[in-house]
């Protein structure tokens, strides 16, 4: 199985960093040794989402320039003992690290970890190429709207031309509003998969708990095993090669009193 | 500011055929190296024996340099069919796009692409192009001959850039963003969720469902 993943999207703001953090936490919770690498040099966020921004001493730029070894720059997560972050520098630029540097860093970390997840910056320039260089599998994140899907298509094309087999690229659709999909007001997962022609890895619903967790610096997957935490567990299992039905990603919505009543009413009539 | 070298020479498709347009210049050696760079980038878009029209700027200087220019083009196996002095007609530009990625395999004059063409990807070929897959919005095909897509065509297609208006564009599902056959252009082409064909009929591009298509030129004259 592949163990080095890049989370990428092309378009910004679709949830790459949140997904990286949650996937890392979920895999670590399952007992795997996980290293997250923030490749968004100059606009770093992953440390904030993980609540580790105060613990950074060295960054990926220090490692690339040879000032410290990769292991020395790693920041350990507060509660998960087997989750580490290789943080990005906020004062450096993406040009200070090369794709070869990234390959070398991942190569050195490779034996010590079960999974290495690289958080790619938005865009398709140097930062993207850095993030993608060392990955064995790419996870493309999109939201169910046309601009995001269009950018995802472009990124999949770039991944293919940089040597990724189409079978090594997966898709996560983030911020799905199940109620809107039901009413036919939002693109369905079938629509998106048809357009992008790529294997689906997971569907993540748009919930308030995600927003709250991100702002608190505690990824949502650390809030027990309910709701979205369960979705990330499904995705993690699929990465490990276990078959989990994609329908299970969107938790069954709780019916309001009126809806439950109406449903009961229809059933007796029908 | 110094002008980029690339704009010095340009390959365009005009009513009379493929035209190499040379902008006013001062150093003939620069022009020749630009021509060589242009054809190197174009890859297999032009092939040996193709005819090209040379369009040179007005003035005595260009006339003196003509043999050198013809020789530069001849190095790539092209024959100069005609020399035009000065610029008169409206032209369509194709060379800018060819700097991007070209994909697929050449066999027997037809390029066969066996995957989806995604946004930002393009295929440039001097013969026909067959795609087994979808052509996504933002993808482009530039073909000397006809283009057939066994899938959903939602990108941009320019066909008949060498063979002219007898070329056709066909797809199983048809909703391209832009069509061109030879020098005929169609913006906002109609969509079909069934197999459809675009061809040139009575001086413009016509798009019809496959069942009802009637070709004026049936391609069996020779």
> Looking at residue A24, which CATH number applies to its domain?
3.40.50.300
Distance of CA B137 to the CA centre of its chain: 19
| Comparison of pLDDT for B83 and A153, the residue scoring more | A153
User: What average pLDDT does the segment B29-57 reach?
Assistant: 77
A159: closest chain B residue by CA: B118
Whether A195 sits inside 8 A of B120 (CB atoms) is: no
Task: Among B115, B119, B133, select the one facing A154 at the smallest CB separation.
Answer: B119
pLDDT of B105:
38
Whether B118 sits inside 8 A of A154 (CB atoms) is: yes
Alpha helices in chain A (DSSP H): 16-29, 46-50, 60-64, 70-73, 99-109, 126-133, 146-161, 178-182, 189-196, 208-216, 228-239, 257-269
B119: closest chain A residue by CA: A154
Give the pLDDT band (50/70/90) at residue B91: very low
Rounded distance between C-alpha atoms, residue B161 and residue B166, angstroms: 10
Collapsing DSSP to helix, strand or coil, B204 comes out as strand
Q: Which domain holds residue A173?
A: 4-269
Q: A55: closest CA among A38, A74, A42, A40?
A: A74
Quote the tokens at residue A222.
């650390």
Give the pLDDT band (50/70/90) at residue A130: very high
User: Each residue of B138-148: b (16+ CB within 10 Å) or e?
Assistant: bbbbbbbbbbb
Answer whether residue B221 shows pLDDT above 60. no
Hey, which residues does A139 pair with through a beta bridge?
Answer: A7, A170
What are the residues whose beta carbons fall under 8 Å from the beta carbon of B196, sequence distance 6 or more?
A: B170, B171, B174, B207, B208, B209, B210
Answer whether residue A250 shows pLDDT above 60. yes
Task: Among B101, B116, B139, select the one facing A161 at the smallest CB separation.
Answer: B101
pLDDT of B95:
47
Q: Look up the pTM and report it.
A: 0.73
Number of domains in chain A: 1
Whether A157 sits inside 8 A of B121 (CB atoms) is: yes
What are the residues whose beta carbons fall under 8 Å from the beta carbon of B128, sequence distance 6 or more?
A: B109, B110, B111, B143, B144, B145, B146, B147, B148, B167
**Exposed / middle / buried, residue A25 (Cβ in 10 Å: 0-12, 13-18, 19+):** buried
- Is the Cβ of A161 closer than 8 Å to some Cβ of chain B? yes
The mean pLDDT of chain A is 92
Give the pLDDT band (50/70/90) at residue A137: very high
Whether B121 sits inside 8 A of A156 (CB atoms) is: no
Rounded distance between C-alpha atoms, residue A245 and residue B154, angstroms: 31
pLDDT digits (tens, 9 = 90+) for B123-134: 988 889 999 999
Distance of CA A141 to the CA centre of its chain: 7
Segment among A99-113, B27-41, B183-197, B199-213 with least mean pLDDT: B27-41
Give the pLDDT band (50/70/90) at residue B162: confident
Rounded distance between C-alpha atoms, residue B175 and residue B149, angstroms: 11
pLDDT of A267:
63
Hey, which residues does B84 pair with through a beta bridge?
Answer: B55
Whether A153 sits inside 8 A of B118 (CB atoms) is: yes
Answer whether residue A139 shows pLDDT above 80. yes
Total residue count of chain B as it appears in this document? 222
CB A148 within 8 A of CB A14: yes
CB A125 within 8 A of CB A94: yes
What are the residues whose beta carbons fall under 8 Å from the beta carbon of A166, sequence distance 6 or more?
A: A156, A160, A198, B115
- Residues of B within 8 A of A195 (CB-CB) are 136
pLDDT digits (tens, 9 = 90+) for A148-202: 999 999 999 999 988 899 999 999 999 999 889 888 899 999 999 999 999 999 9
Task: Among B115, B119, B121, select the one facing A150 at the smallest CB separation.
Answer: B119
Chain A window 180-219: which residues touch B at a Cβ cutoff of 8 Å?
195, 197
Whether A150 sits inside 8 A of B101 (CB atoms) is: no
pLDDT digits (tens, 9 = 90+) for A4-43: 999 999 899 999 999 999 999 999 999 999 999 999 999 9
Give the pLDDT band (50/70/90) at residue B4: very low
Answer whether residue B90 shows pLDDT above 60. no
- Is the Cβ of A146 closer than 8 Å to some Cβ of chain B? no
DSSP letter for each residue of A52-110: -TTS--S-HHHHHTTSS-HHHH-EE-SS-TTEEEEPPPSSS-GGGS-HHHHHHHHHHHG
Task: Select the residue from B132, B134, B135, B136 to test the A interface by mutation, using most A Cβ atoms within 10 A.
Answer: B136
Rounded distance between C-alpha atoms, residue B65 and residue B25, angstroms: 11
- Residues of B within 8 A of A149 (CB-CB) are none
Task: Select the residue from B101, B117, B119, B137 to test the A interface by mutation, using most A Cβ atoms within 10 A.
Answer: B119
Answer whether residue B160 shows pLDDT above 80. yes
Give the pLDDT band (50/70/90) at residue B99: very low
pLDDT of B60:
65
Answer whether residue A204 shows pLDDT above 50. yes
Q: What are phi and psi of A201, to 5 degrees?
A: -105, -30
Answer whether residue B106 shows pLDDT above 80. no
In the numeric block, the tokens 């629509």 are attached to: A191
Please report the domains of chain B, with CATH numbers, ordered by start residue: 1-93 (3.30.750.50), 101-217 (2.160.20.70)
- Is the Cβ of A169 closer than 8 Å to some Cβ of chain B? no
Rounded distance between C-alpha atoms, residue A180 and residue A111, angstroms: 45
Answer whether residue A73 shows pLDDT above 80. yes
pLDDT of A145:
93
Q: Name the minimum distance, in Å, from the CA of B220 to any CA of chain A.
A: 38
ipTM of this complex: 0.75
pLDDT of B103:
41
Q: Name the minimum distance, in Å, from the CA of B113 to any CA of chain A.
A: 14
pLDDT digits (tens, 9 = 90+) for A207-242: 888 888 888 889 999 987 788 999 999 999 999 999
pLDDT of B108:
45
pLDDT of B168:
95
């Amino acid at each position: 199985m592949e163990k080095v993943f890049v989370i990428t999207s092309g378009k910004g703001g679709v949830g790459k960093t949140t997904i990286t953090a949650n996937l890392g936490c979920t895999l670590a919770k399952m007992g795997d040794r996980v290293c997250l690498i923030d490749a968004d040099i100059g606009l770093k966020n992953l440390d904030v989402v993980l609540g580790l921004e105060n613990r950074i001493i060295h960054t990926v730029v220090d490692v690339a320039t040879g000032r410290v070894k990769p292991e020395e720059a790693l920041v350990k997560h507060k509660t998960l003992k087997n989750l580490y972050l290789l943080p990005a520098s906020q004062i450096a630029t993406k040009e200070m690290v090369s794709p070869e540097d990234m390959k070398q860093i991942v190569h050195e970390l490779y034996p010590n970890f079960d999974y290495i997840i690289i958080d790619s910056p938005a865009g398709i320039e140097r930062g993207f190429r850095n993030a993608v260089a060392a990955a064995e599998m790419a996870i493309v994140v999109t939201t169910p709207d046309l601009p995001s899907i269009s950018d995802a298509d472009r990124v999949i094309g770039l991944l293919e031309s940089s040597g990724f087999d189409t079978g090594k690229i997966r898709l996560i659709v983030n911020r799905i509003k199940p109620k809107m999909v039901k009413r036919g007001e939002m693109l369905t997962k079938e629509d998106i998969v048809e357009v992008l022609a790529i294997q689906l890895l997971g569907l993540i619903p748009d919930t308030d708990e995600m927003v709250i967790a991100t702002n608190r610096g505690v990824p949502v997957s650390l809030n027990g095993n309910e709701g979205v935490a369960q979705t990330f567990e499904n995705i993690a299992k699929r990465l490990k090669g276990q078959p989990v039905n994609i329908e299970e990603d969107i938790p069954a919505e709780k019916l309001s009193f009126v809806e439950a009543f109406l449903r009961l009413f229809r059933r007796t009539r029908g | 500011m110094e002008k980029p070298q690339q704009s010095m020479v340009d390959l365009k498709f005009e009513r009379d055929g493929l035209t190499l347009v040379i902008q006013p210049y001062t150093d003939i050696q620069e022009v020749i190296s630009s021509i060589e760079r242009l054809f190197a980038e174009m890859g297999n878009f032009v092939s040996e024996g193709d005819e090209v029209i040379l369009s040179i700027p007005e003035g005595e200087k260009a006339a003196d340099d003509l043999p050198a220019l013809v020789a530069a083009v001849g190095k790539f196996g092209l024959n100069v069919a005609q020399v035009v002095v000065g610029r008169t007609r409206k032209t369509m530009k194709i060379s800018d796009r060819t700097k991007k990625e070209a994909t697929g395999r050449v066999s027997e004059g037809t390029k066969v692409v066996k995957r989806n063409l995604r946004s930002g990807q393009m295929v440039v070929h001097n013969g026909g192009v067959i795609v087994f897959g979808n052509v996504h919005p933002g993808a482009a095909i530039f073909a000397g001959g006809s283009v057939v897509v066994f899938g959903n065509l939602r990108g941009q297609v320019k066909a008949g850039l060498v063979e002219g208006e007898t070329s056709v564009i066909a797809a199983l599902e048809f909703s391209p963003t832009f069509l061109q056959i030879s020098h005929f252009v169609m913006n906002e082409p109609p969509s079909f969720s069934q197999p459809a064909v675009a061809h040139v009929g009575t001086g413009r591009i016509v798009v019809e469902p496959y069942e009802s298509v009637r070709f004026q030129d049936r391609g069996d004259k020779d």
